Structure 1
Amino acid sequence: MKITQLRNATIVLEFAAGARPVALLVDPMLAPQGALPTLRYLGGQRRRNPLVDLPDGSDAVLSRVTHALITHCQRGHFDHLDRAGKRLLRERAIPVACMPRDAAYLAARGIVVQPLAGPGRQPFLGTGHITPVACVHGHGWVGRLMEHGHGYLIEMPGEPSVYIAGDTVLTPEVRDCLTRLRPDVAVLPAGGARFDLGGEILMDGRDVLGACGLAPGTVVANHLEALDHCPTTRAGLRALAADAGLGERLWVPEDGESREFLRRVPVQAGALAEQVSAGG
Protein backbone atom coordinates (compact mmCIF):
# COMPACT_ATOMS: atom_id res chain seq x y z
CA MET A 1 0.00 0.00 0.00
CA LYS A 2 1.20 3.46 -0.88
CA ILE A 3 -0.01 6.61 0.88
CA THR A 4 0.45 10.04 -0.70
CA GLN A 5 -0.27 13.10 1.40
CA LEU A 6 -1.65 15.83 -0.84
CA ARG A 7 -2.84 18.53 1.58
CA ASN A 8 -4.75 18.75 4.85
CA ALA A 9 -6.94 15.61 5.07
CA THR A 10 -6.66 14.85 1.35
CA ILE A 11 -4.68 11.67 0.77
CA VAL A 12 -4.53 8.96 -1.88
CA LEU A 13 -4.20 5.29 -0.92
CA GLU A 14 -2.97 2.96 -3.64
CA PHE A 15 -3.52 -0.76 -3.31
CA ALA A 16 -1.89 -3.24 -5.68
CA ALA A 17 -3.86 -6.27 -4.51
CA GLY A 18 -6.45 -7.75 -6.84
CA ALA A 19 -6.85 -7.89 -10.59
CA ARG A 20 -6.92 -4.10 -10.97
CA PRO A 21 -4.97 -1.58 -8.87
CA VAL A 22 -7.06 0.78 -6.75
CA ALA A 23 -6.21 4.41 -6.04
CA LEU A 24 -8.57 5.70 -3.36
CA LEU A 25 -8.91 9.48 -2.96
CA VAL A 26 -9.97 10.56 0.54
CA ASP A 27 -11.69 13.87 1.30
CA PRO A 28 -10.64 15.97 -1.71
CA MET A 29 -10.02 19.66 -0.97
CA LEU A 30 -8.48 20.74 -4.28
CA ALA A 31 -9.00 24.51 -4.39
CA PRO A 32 -6.09 26.87 -5.10
CA GLN A 33 -4.43 28.68 -2.22
CA GLY A 34 -6.68 31.34 -0.70
CA ALA A 35 -9.82 30.39 -2.67
CA LEU A 36 -11.84 29.40 0.42
CA PRO A 37 -13.02 31.40 3.44
CA THR A 38 -11.20 31.86 6.73
CA LEU A 39 -12.16 29.69 9.69
CA ARG A 40 -11.12 32.35 12.22
CA TYR A 41 -13.21 35.46 12.72
CA LEU A 42 -11.61 37.37 15.59
CA GLY A 43 -8.14 38.83 16.09
CA GLY A 44 -5.30 39.12 13.62
CA GLN A 45 -4.92 35.45 12.66
CA ARG A 46 -7.49 35.47 9.87
CA ARG A 47 -6.23 34.11 6.56
CA ARG A 48 -8.11 32.70 3.61
CA ASN A 49 -7.88 28.97 3.09
CA PRO A 50 -6.21 26.80 2.05
CA LEU A 51 -2.99 28.37 3.27
CA VAL A 52 -0.91 26.57 0.64
CA ASP A 53 -1.38 25.34 -2.91
CA LEU A 54 -1.50 21.68 -3.81
CA PRO A 55 2.05 20.30 -4.11
CA ASP A 56 3.87 19.70 -7.36
CA GLY A 57 2.92 16.35 -8.85
CA SER A 58 -0.66 16.42 -7.58
CA ASP A 59 -2.14 16.20 -11.07
CA ALA A 60 -0.22 12.99 -11.75
CA VAL A 61 -1.42 11.45 -8.48
CA LEU A 62 -5.02 12.51 -9.08
CA SER A 63 -4.92 11.11 -12.62
CA ARG A 64 -4.51 7.62 -11.10
CA VAL A 65 -7.58 7.87 -8.85
CA THR A 66 -10.14 5.12 -9.40
CA HIS A 67 -12.39 5.54 -6.34
CA ALA A 68 -13.05 8.05 -3.56
CA LEU A 69 -14.05 7.94 0.09
CA ILE A 70 -15.69 10.74 2.11
CA THR A 71 -15.53 10.95 5.90
CA HIS A 72 -17.95 13.90 6.15
CA CYS A 73 -18.91 16.77 3.89
CA GLN A 74 -21.94 18.70 5.13
CA ARG A 75 -22.50 21.76 7.34
CA GLY A 76 -19.67 23.79 5.87
CA HIS A 77 -16.87 21.21 5.84
CA PHE A 78 -15.26 22.44 2.63
CA ASP A 79 -11.89 21.26 3.96
CA HIS A 80 -13.00 17.68 3.24
CA LEU A 81 -14.92 18.25 0.02
CA ASP A 82 -14.80 21.59 -1.78
CA ARG A 83 -16.15 22.69 -5.15
CA ALA A 84 -12.99 21.68 -6.97
CA GLY A 85 -13.16 18.25 -5.36
CA LYS A 86 -16.81 17.84 -6.33
CA ARG A 87 -16.00 18.88 -9.88
CA LEU A 88 -13.24 16.28 -10.22
CA LEU A 89 -15.46 13.52 -8.83
CA ARG A 90 -18.38 14.52 -11.04
CA GLU A 91 -16.50 15.08 -14.31
CA ARG A 92 -14.58 11.84 -14.05
CA ALA A 93 -17.57 9.86 -12.71
CA ILE A 94 -15.43 8.50 -9.89
CA PRO A 95 -17.45 6.16 -7.64
CA VAL A 96 -17.60 7.63 -4.15
CA ALA A 97 -18.14 5.61 -0.98
CA CYS A 98 -19.73 7.38 1.98
CA MET A 99 -22.02 6.81 4.92
CA PRO A 100 -25.77 6.75 4.14
CA ARG A 101 -26.25 10.21 5.71
CA ASP A 102 -24.14 11.82 2.96
CA ALA A 103 -25.47 9.84 -0.02
CA ALA A 104 -28.35 12.12 -1.04
CA TYR A 105 -26.22 15.25 -0.55
CA LEU A 106 -23.53 13.92 -2.90
CA ALA A 107 -25.96 12.50 -5.46
CA ALA A 108 -27.71 15.88 -5.70
CA ARG A 109 -24.39 17.31 -6.86
CA GLY A 110 -24.08 14.84 -9.72
CA ILE A 111 -21.60 12.55 -7.98
CA VAL A 112 -21.67 8.77 -8.49
CA VAL A 113 -22.44 7.53 -4.99
CA GLN A 114 -21.89 4.04 -3.62
CA PRO A 115 -23.18 4.38 -0.05
CA LEU A 116 -21.96 1.99 2.59
CA ALA A 117 -24.46 -0.19 4.41
CA GLY A 118 -24.02 1.72 7.68
CA PRO A 119 -22.12 0.63 10.78
CA GLY A 120 -20.30 -2.71 10.95
CA ARG A 121 -17.65 -4.48 8.91
CA GLN A 122 -18.76 -4.91 5.31
CA PRO A 123 -17.41 -5.68 1.81
CA PHE A 124 -15.46 -2.92 0.09
CA LEU A 125 -14.00 -2.51 -3.40
CA GLY A 126 -14.90 -6.06 -4.39
CA THR A 127 -12.22 -7.98 -2.49
CA GLY A 128 -11.73 -6.00 0.72
CA HIS A 129 -13.62 -4.90 3.80
CA ILE A 130 -14.34 -1.58 5.49
CA THR A 131 -15.45 -0.83 9.05
CA PRO A 132 -16.85 2.64 9.85
CA VAL A 133 -15.69 4.14 13.16
CA ALA A 134 -17.74 7.03 14.56
CA CYS A 135 -16.00 10.41 14.96
CA VAL A 136 -16.52 13.03 17.66
CA HIS A 137 -15.56 16.36 16.08
CA GLY A 138 -15.23 18.33 19.32
CA HIS A 139 -16.70 18.22 22.81
CA GLY A 140 -19.27 20.37 24.59
CA TRP A 141 -21.30 23.08 22.91
CA VAL A 142 -18.95 23.43 19.95
CA GLY A 143 -19.24 19.70 19.29
CA ARG A 144 -23.00 20.04 19.01
CA LEU A 145 -22.53 22.44 16.10
CA MET A 146 -20.20 20.14 14.15
CA GLU A 147 -20.73 17.44 11.54
CA HIS A 148 -19.13 14.44 13.21
CA GLY A 149 -18.86 11.90 10.37
CA HIS A 150 -16.96 8.60 10.42
CA GLY A 151 -13.47 7.29 10.04
CA TYR A 152 -12.81 3.94 8.39
CA LEU A 153 -10.71 0.84 8.88
CA ILE A 154 -9.89 -0.56 5.43
CA GLU A 155 -8.68 -4.14 4.93
CA MET A 156 -7.57 -5.20 1.46
CA PRO A 157 -6.20 -8.70 0.74
CA GLY A 158 -2.43 -8.91 0.92
CA GLU A 159 -2.15 -5.27 2.03
CA PRO A 160 -1.61 -3.65 5.43
CA SER A 161 -4.81 -2.58 7.15
CA VAL A 162 -5.25 1.18 7.40
CA TYR A 163 -7.41 3.28 9.70
CA ILE A 164 -8.36 6.74 8.43
CA ALA A 165 -9.66 8.55 11.50
CA GLY A 166 -11.54 11.44 9.90
CA ASP A 167 -12.07 14.59 11.96
CA THR A 168 -12.15 13.52 15.58
CA VAL A 169 -10.74 14.01 19.02
CA LEU A 170 -9.20 11.03 20.81
CA THR A 171 -12.33 9.15 21.90
CA PRO A 172 -13.04 5.70 23.34
CA GLU A 173 -14.10 4.62 19.83
CA VAL A 174 -10.76 5.70 18.38
CA ARG A 175 -8.89 4.01 21.22
CA ASP A 176 -10.89 0.82 20.66
CA CYS A 177 -10.08 0.81 16.96
CA LEU A 178 -6.37 1.18 17.66
CA THR A 179 -6.19 -1.45 20.42
CA ARG A 180 -8.79 -4.02 19.36
CA LEU A 181 -8.84 -3.79 15.56
CA ARG A 182 -5.08 -3.11 15.49
CA PRO A 183 -4.56 -1.36 12.15
CA ASP A 184 -1.12 -1.65 10.59
CA VAL A 185 -1.27 2.05 9.72
CA ALA A 186 -3.37 4.77 11.37
CA VAL A 187 -3.89 8.16 9.72
CA LEU A 188 -4.86 10.69 12.40
CA PRO A 189 -5.70 14.42 12.32
CA ALA A 190 -3.10 16.28 14.38
CA GLY A 191 -3.94 19.92 13.68
CA GLY A 192 -5.41 20.77 17.09
CA ALA A 193 -8.09 22.79 15.27
CA ARG A 194 -10.22 25.21 17.21
CA PHE A 195 -12.38 28.20 16.44
CA ASP A 196 -12.23 31.55 18.19
CA LEU A 197 -14.41 30.23 21.00
CA GLY A 198 -14.70 26.74 22.47
CA GLY A 199 -12.26 23.87 22.78
CA GLU A 200 -10.34 21.77 20.31
CA ILE A 201 -12.26 19.96 17.60
CA LEU A 202 -9.36 17.74 16.47
CA MET A 203 -6.56 15.84 18.13
CA ASP A 204 -3.44 17.86 18.80
CA GLY A 205 0.17 16.71 18.92
CA ARG A 206 -0.05 15.25 22.43
CA ASP A 207 -3.20 13.32 21.53
CA VAL A 208 -1.42 11.83 18.53
CA LEU A 209 1.52 10.79 20.71
CA GLY A 210 -0.97 9.15 23.06
CA ALA A 211 -2.43 7.30 20.09
CA CYS A 212 1.07 6.12 19.16
CA GLY A 213 1.16 4.34 22.50
CA LEU A 214 -2.02 2.46 21.58
CA ALA A 215 -1.46 1.71 17.90
CA PRO A 216 0.53 -1.41 16.99
CA GLY A 217 1.95 0.00 13.76
CA THR A 218 2.81 3.31 12.12
CA VAL A 219 0.85 6.48 12.86
CA VAL A 220 0.57 9.08 10.09
CA ALA A 221 -0.24 12.67 11.10
CA ASN A 222 -2.09 14.95 8.71
CA HIS A 223 -4.46 17.96 8.80
CA LEU A 224 -1.37 20.15 9.25
CA GLU A 225 -0.34 23.62 8.04
CA ALA A 226 -3.16 23.98 5.51
CA LEU A 227 -5.98 25.72 7.43
CA ASP A 228 -5.92 28.86 9.52
CA HIS A 229 -7.57 27.27 12.56
CA CYS A 230 -5.03 24.42 12.92
CA PRO A 231 -2.07 25.64 15.03
CA THR A 232 -0.01 22.41 15.17
CA THR A 233 3.12 22.54 13.02
CA ARG A 234 5.04 19.67 11.50
CA ALA A 235 8.26 20.79 13.18
CA GLY A 236 6.59 21.02 16.57
CA LEU A 237 5.00 17.59 16.22
CA ARG A 238 8.25 15.97 15.12
CA ALA A 239 10.03 17.54 18.09
CA LEU A 240 7.40 16.19 20.50
CA ALA A 241 7.75 12.72 18.96
CA ALA A 242 11.54 12.81 19.20
CA ASP A 243 11.41 13.89 22.86
CA ALA A 244 9.02 11.01 23.59
CA GLY A 245 11.16 8.47 21.72
CA LEU A 246 8.41 7.94 19.16
CA GLY A 247 10.12 9.35 16.09
CA GLU A 248 10.28 5.92 14.44
CA ARG A 249 6.58 5.27 15.03
CA LEU A 250 5.21 8.57 13.73
CA TRP A 251 5.35 9.74 10.11
CA VAL A 252 4.63 13.45 9.60
CA PRO A 253 4.58 13.77 5.80
CA GLU A 254 5.13 16.93 3.83
CA ASP A 255 2.50 17.76 1.23
CA GLY A 256 3.25 15.67 -1.85
CA GLU A 257 5.27 13.08 0.06
CA SER A 258 4.59 9.35 -0.41
CA ARG A 259 5.48 6.23 1.50
CA GLU A 260 4.91 2.54 0.87
CA PHE A 261 3.81 0.24 3.68
CA LEU A 262 4.06 -3.52 3.94
CA ARG A 263 1.70 -5.76 5.83
CA ARG A 264 2.82 -6.48 9.38
CA VAL A 265 3.40 -10.20 10.00
CA PRO A 266 2.93 -10.96 13.70
CA VAL A 267 5.67 -13.11 15.18
CA GLN A 268 4.24 -16.29 16.66
CA ALA A 269 5.37 -17.42 20.10
CA GLY A 270 7.02 -20.56 18.73
CA ALA A 271 8.87 -18.65 16.04
CA LEU A 272 10.04 -16.10 18.61
CA ALA A 273 11.34 -18.88 20.86
CA GLU A 274 13.26 -20.34 17.92
CA GLN A 275 14.76 -16.90 17.15
CA VAL A 276 15.85 -16.45 20.77
CA SER A 277 17.37 -19.94 21.04
CA ALA A 278 19.23 -19.38 17.78
CA GLY A 279 20.52 -16.01 18.96
CA GLY A 280 18.26 -14.12 16.49
Structure 2
Amino acid sequence: MIEQIPEKFRKEIDFYVQEYGAELSLHDYIAPLQEECFPSLLSKLERREPTWTPEQRVADATKHLFGGHDVLCRGIAKRVVDDDPSELARAASLFARLRLWFGTRNEYNDYDCFAPDMLRALAGGDVMVIERFAEVAPSTVTKGGWESRVIHNGVIAAINRDDRLLEEAISDFEKWKKPKNFIASIVTALRGLVAKDAGLVNDGLTSLLKGSGRIQQLHDLYKLISLETHGMYELARRYHPEMVREFDTTQGLPWDEALCAWVAESDDALPFLDVSSLSVELQRWLVELPFRDALRHDWN
Protein backbone atom coordinates (compact mmCIF):
# COMPACT_ATOMS: atom_id res chain seq x y z
CA MET A 1 0.00 0.00 0.00
CA ILE A 2 2.92 2.34 0.66
CA GLU A 3 3.36 2.90 -3.08
CA GLN A 4 -0.11 4.49 -3.26
CA ILE A 5 0.61 7.03 -0.53
CA PRO A 6 1.39 10.65 -1.50
CA GLU A 7 4.89 11.78 -0.58
CA LYS A 8 3.71 14.30 2.01
CA PHE A 9 2.18 11.47 4.07
CA ARG A 10 5.18 9.15 3.72
CA LYS A 11 7.26 11.46 5.91
CA GLU A 12 4.61 11.23 8.65
CA ILE A 13 4.53 7.45 8.33
CA ASP A 14 8.33 7.30 8.58
CA PHE A 15 8.09 9.40 11.74
CA TYR A 16 5.68 6.95 13.40
CA VAL A 17 7.82 4.02 12.33
CA GLN A 18 10.91 5.58 13.91
CA GLU A 19 9.40 7.26 16.98
CA TYR A 20 6.39 5.05 17.78
CA GLY A 21 7.48 1.63 16.56
CA ALA A 22 4.94 1.24 13.78
CA GLU A 23 6.97 -1.68 12.44
CA LEU A 24 6.68 -3.48 15.81
CA SER A 25 3.86 -5.26 17.61
CA LEU A 26 2.16 -3.18 20.29
CA HIS A 27 3.77 -5.35 22.97
CA ASP A 28 7.26 -4.94 21.54
CA TYR A 29 6.77 -1.18 21.32
CA ILE A 30 5.28 -0.58 24.81
CA ALA A 31 7.17 -3.15 26.91
CA PRO A 32 10.54 -1.33 26.73
CA LEU A 33 8.75 1.93 27.59
CA GLN A 34 7.28 0.27 30.67
CA GLU A 35 10.74 -0.72 31.83
CA GLU A 36 12.07 2.79 31.17
CA CYS A 37 9.17 4.88 32.51
CA PHE A 38 7.53 2.78 35.23
CA PRO A 39 9.84 3.77 38.12
CA SER A 40 8.82 7.41 37.75
CA LEU A 41 5.17 6.82 36.84
CA LEU A 42 4.49 4.26 39.56
CA SER A 43 6.23 6.38 42.18
CA LYS A 44 3.96 9.32 41.38
CA LEU A 45 0.87 7.11 41.47
CA GLU A 46 1.83 5.67 44.85
CA ARG A 47 1.86 9.19 46.29
CA ARG A 48 -1.21 10.41 44.43
CA GLU A 49 -3.39 7.31 44.79
CA PRO A 50 -2.32 5.48 47.97
CA THR A 51 -5.50 3.34 48.04
CA TRP A 52 -4.96 1.85 44.57
CA THR A 53 -3.79 -1.70 44.13
CA PRO A 54 -0.46 -2.33 42.36
CA GLU A 55 -2.42 -3.69 39.39
CA GLN A 56 -4.38 -0.45 39.10
CA ARG A 57 -1.19 1.58 39.14
CA VAL A 58 0.34 -0.59 36.42
CA ALA A 59 -2.82 -0.24 34.33
CA ASP A 60 -2.92 3.55 34.70
CA ALA A 61 0.81 3.89 33.97
CA THR A 62 0.48 1.64 30.91
CA LYS A 63 -2.48 3.66 29.66
CA HIS A 64 -0.34 6.78 29.96
CA LEU A 65 2.26 5.27 27.60
CA PHE A 66 -0.21 4.94 24.72
CA GLY A 67 -0.05 8.69 24.22
CA GLY A 68 -3.61 9.67 23.22
CA HIS A 69 -3.89 10.45 19.51
CA ASP A 70 -0.47 8.95 18.82
CA VAL A 71 -1.83 5.43 19.28
CA LEU A 72 -4.30 6.13 16.46
CA CYS A 73 -1.72 7.75 14.19
CA ARG A 74 0.54 4.78 14.86
CA GLY A 75 -2.38 2.55 13.78
CA ILE A 76 -2.73 4.45 10.51
CA ALA A 77 1.01 4.15 9.86
CA LYS A 78 1.01 0.45 10.75
CA ARG A 79 -1.99 -0.13 8.49
CA VAL A 80 0.09 1.29 5.60
CA VAL A 81 3.40 -0.37 6.53
CA ASP A 82 1.86 -3.82 7.08
CA ASP A 83 -0.87 -3.36 4.44
CA ASP A 84 -3.26 -4.63 7.10
CA PRO A 85 -6.56 -2.76 7.71
CA SER A 86 -7.14 -4.62 10.97
CA GLU A 87 -4.22 -2.69 12.50
CA LEU A 88 -6.05 0.59 11.93
CA ALA A 89 -9.43 -0.77 13.04
CA ARG A 90 -8.04 -2.15 16.29
CA ALA A 91 -5.99 0.99 16.96
CA ALA A 92 -9.12 3.13 16.46
CA SER A 93 -11.00 0.95 18.91
CA LEU A 94 -8.20 1.04 21.50
CA PHE A 95 -7.88 4.80 21.09
CA ALA A 96 -11.62 5.27 21.60
CA ARG A 97 -11.85 3.02 24.64
CA LEU A 98 -9.09 5.00 26.29
CA ARG A 99 -10.26 8.40 25.04
CA LEU A 100 -13.99 8.16 25.72
CA TRP A 101 -13.24 7.06 29.25
CA PHE A 102 -12.61 10.75 29.83
CA GLY A 103 -15.75 11.68 27.91
CA THR A 104 -18.07 10.91 30.81
CA ARG A 105 -17.95 13.13 33.88
CA ASN A 106 -14.87 15.20 34.64
CA GLU A 107 -13.63 16.38 38.01
CA TYR A 108 -16.12 19.27 37.94
CA ASN A 109 -19.02 16.84 37.43
CA ASP A 110 -19.62 18.19 33.93
CA TYR A 111 -19.81 16.08 30.78
CA ASP A 112 -16.86 16.41 28.46
CA CYS A 113 -17.60 15.92 24.79
CA PHE A 114 -14.97 14.54 22.41
CA ALA A 115 -17.48 14.08 19.64
CA PRO A 116 -15.17 13.51 16.62
CA ASP A 117 -13.61 10.62 18.55
CA MET A 118 -17.01 8.92 18.53
CA LEU A 119 -16.79 8.77 14.73
CA ARG A 120 -13.21 7.51 14.89
CA ALA A 121 -14.36 4.68 17.16
CA LEU A 122 -17.11 3.74 14.73
CA ALA A 123 -14.61 3.81 11.85
CA GLY A 124 -12.94 0.81 13.45
CA GLY A 125 -16.27 -0.93 13.94
CA ASP A 126 -16.36 -0.50 17.72
CA VAL A 127 -20.09 0.05 18.18
CA MET A 128 -19.98 -1.46 21.67
CA VAL A 129 -17.93 1.40 23.11
CA ILE A 130 -20.37 3.97 21.69
CA GLU A 131 -23.34 2.02 23.01
CA ARG A 132 -21.68 1.90 26.43
CA PHE A 133 -20.86 5.60 26.19
CA ALA A 134 -24.53 6.29 25.36
CA GLU A 135 -25.54 4.58 28.61
CA VAL A 136 -23.53 6.95 30.81
CA ALA A 137 -23.49 10.18 28.78
CA PRO A 138 -26.54 12.43 28.28
CA SER A 139 -28.44 11.86 25.06
CA THR A 140 -28.31 15.60 24.43
CA VAL A 141 -25.49 17.95 25.37
CA THR A 142 -25.85 21.71 25.49
CA LYS A 143 -22.25 22.61 26.32
CA GLY A 144 -19.29 22.67 23.99
CA GLY A 145 -18.92 23.87 20.43
CA TRP A 146 -21.57 23.53 17.75
CA GLU A 147 -19.63 20.77 16.02
CA SER A 148 -19.28 18.62 19.10
CA ARG A 149 -22.90 19.11 20.07
CA VAL A 150 -24.28 18.17 16.67
CA ILE A 151 -22.02 15.13 16.31
CA HIS A 152 -22.55 13.93 19.90
CA ASN A 153 -26.33 14.36 19.81
CA GLY A 154 -26.65 12.90 16.32
CA VAL A 155 -24.46 9.85 17.01
CA ILE A 156 -26.19 9.04 20.30
CA ALA A 157 -29.62 9.39 18.65
CA ALA A 158 -28.65 7.19 15.70
CA ILE A 159 -27.06 4.53 17.93
CA ASN A 160 -30.30 4.44 19.94
CA ARG A 161 -32.38 4.61 16.71
CA ASP A 162 -34.27 7.55 18.20
CA ASP A 163 -35.66 9.61 15.31
CA ARG A 164 -37.05 12.28 17.64
CA LEU A 165 -33.61 13.01 19.06
CA LEU A 166 -32.13 12.88 15.56
CA GLU A 167 -34.56 15.57 14.49
CA GLU A 168 -33.62 17.65 17.54
CA ALA A 169 -29.91 17.36 16.67
CA ILE A 170 -30.68 18.53 13.15
CA SER A 171 -32.78 21.43 14.49
CA ASP A 172 -29.88 22.49 16.69
CA PHE A 173 -27.67 22.57 13.60
CA GLU A 174 -30.16 24.75 11.73
CA LYS A 175 -29.66 27.51 14.32
CA TRP A 176 -26.03 27.79 13.24
CA LYS A 177 -25.72 30.74 10.87
CA LYS A 178 -22.41 29.79 9.23
CA PRO A 179 -22.01 26.01 9.50
CA LYS A 180 -18.79 24.37 8.40
CA ASN A 181 -19.05 22.16 5.35
CA PHE A 182 -18.04 18.96 7.12
CA ILE A 183 -20.76 19.44 9.75
CA ALA A 184 -23.29 20.21 7.01
CA SER A 185 -22.27 16.93 5.32
CA ILE A 186 -22.76 14.98 8.55
CA VAL A 187 -26.18 16.55 9.07
CA THR A 188 -27.16 15.69 5.49
CA ALA A 189 -26.41 12.04 6.26
CA LEU A 190 -28.38 12.28 9.53
CA ARG A 191 -31.32 13.76 7.63
CA GLY A 192 -31.12 10.76 5.34
CA LEU A 193 -31.44 8.42 8.32
CA VAL A 194 -34.53 10.23 9.60
CA ALA A 195 -36.10 10.24 6.13
CA LYS A 196 -35.00 6.63 5.43
CA ASP A 197 -33.45 8.04 2.25
CA ALA A 198 -30.30 6.20 1.10
CA GLY A 199 -29.69 8.81 -1.57
CA LEU A 200 -29.51 11.58 1.00
CA VAL A 201 -27.17 9.49 3.17
CA ASN A 202 -24.97 8.98 0.12
CA ASP A 203 -24.94 12.72 -0.57
CA GLY A 204 -23.78 13.41 2.97
CA LEU A 205 -21.09 10.72 2.98
CA THR A 206 -19.80 11.71 -0.46
CA SER A 207 -19.62 15.37 0.50
CA LEU A 208 -17.88 14.53 3.79
CA LEU A 209 -15.28 12.38 2.02
CA LYS A 210 -14.69 14.96 -0.70
CA GLY A 211 -14.10 17.73 1.84
CA SER A 212 -12.14 15.65 4.34
CA GLY A 213 -8.80 17.05 3.23
CA ARG A 214 -9.95 20.54 4.24
CA ILE A 215 -11.01 19.58 7.78
CA GLN A 216 -8.69 21.06 10.38
CA GLN A 217 -7.03 18.06 12.02
CA LEU A 218 -4.63 17.54 14.90
CA HIS A 219 -2.47 15.27 12.73
CA ASP A 220 -1.85 15.15 8.98
CA LEU A 221 -2.37 11.38 8.89
CA TYR A 222 -6.05 11.96 9.70
CA LYS A 223 -6.29 13.39 6.19
CA LEU A 224 -4.79 10.29 4.59
CA ILE A 225 -7.76 8.11 5.59
CA SER A 226 -11.01 9.88 6.44
CA LEU A 227 -12.02 8.19 9.68
CA GLU A 228 -14.91 10.63 10.03
CA THR A 229 -16.43 9.38 6.77
CA HIS A 230 -15.83 5.76 7.75
CA GLY A 231 -17.46 6.45 11.12
CA MET A 232 -20.55 8.04 9.58
CA TYR A 233 -20.77 5.15 7.10
CA GLU A 234 -20.69 2.61 9.95
CA LEU A 235 -23.24 4.64 11.92
CA ALA A 236 -25.61 4.60 8.95
CA ARG A 237 -24.96 0.91 8.23
CA ARG A 238 -25.73 -0.06 11.83
CA TYR A 239 -28.83 2.16 11.78
CA HIS A 240 -30.04 0.16 8.77
CA PRO A 241 -27.90 -1.58 6.11
CA GLU A 242 -30.11 -0.22 3.33
CA MET A 243 -29.03 3.30 4.22
CA VAL A 244 -25.55 2.81 2.69
CA ARG A 245 -26.50 0.88 -0.43
CA GLU A 246 -25.81 3.84 -2.75
CA PHE A 247 -22.40 4.77 -1.36
CA ASP A 248 -19.39 3.60 -3.39
CA THR A 249 -17.24 1.54 -1.02
CA THR A 250 -14.70 0.66 -3.73
CA GLN A 251 -13.26 4.15 -4.20
CA GLY A 252 -9.71 5.09 -3.28
CA LEU A 253 -8.10 7.28 -0.64
CA PRO A 254 -9.09 9.03 1.52
CA TRP A 255 -11.61 6.17 1.57
CA ASP A 256 -10.07 2.87 2.68
CA GLU A 257 -11.89 0.08 0.86
CA ALA A 258 -10.02 -2.66 2.74
CA LEU A 259 -10.81 -1.11 6.14
CA CYS A 260 -14.51 -0.96 5.27
CA ALA A 261 -14.48 -4.61 4.17
CA TRP A 262 -12.60 -5.77 7.28
CA VAL A 263 -15.04 -4.02 9.61
CA ALA A 264 -18.04 -5.50 7.77
CA GLU A 265 -16.57 -9.00 8.03
CA SER A 266 -15.62 -8.60 11.69
CA ASP A 267 -18.87 -7.40 13.26
CA ASP A 268 -18.66 -9.96 16.04
CA ALA A 269 -14.91 -9.81 16.62
CA LEU A 270 -13.32 -8.23 19.69
CA PRO A 271 -12.34 -4.96 18.01
CA PHE A 272 -9.50 -3.52 20.09
CA LEU A 273 -5.85 -4.48 20.44
CA ASP A 274 -5.06 -7.05 23.13
CA VAL A 275 -2.95 -5.44 25.87
CA SER A 276 -3.10 -8.29 28.41
CA SER A 277 0.63 -8.98 28.05
CA LEU A 278 1.24 -5.39 29.14
CA SER A 279 -1.41 -5.09 31.86
CA VAL A 280 -4.07 -7.63 32.78
CA GLU A 281 -6.00 -4.95 34.66
CA LEU A 282 -6.02 -2.57 31.70
CA GLN A 283 -7.21 -5.39 29.43
CA ARG A 284 -10.03 -6.11 31.87
CA TRP A 285 -11.06 -2.48 31.78
CA LEU A 286 -11.02 -2.43 27.98
CA VAL A 287 -13.34 -5.44 27.94
CA GLU A 288 -15.73 -4.35 30.71
CA LEU A 289 -15.70 -0.60 29.98
CA PRO A 290 -16.23 0.60 33.55
CA PHE A 291 -16.27 4.31 32.72
CA ARG A 292 -15.32 6.75 35.42
CA ASP A 293 -18.96 7.20 36.50
CA ALA A 294 -19.18 3.50 37.28
CA LEU A 295 -15.85 3.60 39.08
CA ARG A 296 -16.84 6.65 41.16
CA HIS A 297 -13.80 8.58 40.01
CA ASP A 298 -11.34 6.02 41.35
CA TRP A 299 -9.54 6.21 37.99
CA ASN A 300 -9.23 9.97 37.45
TM-score, L = length of structure 2: 0.28
TM-score, L = length of structure 1: 0.30
The structure carrying a bigger helix percent of its residues is 2
The structure carrying a bigger strand percent of its residues is 1
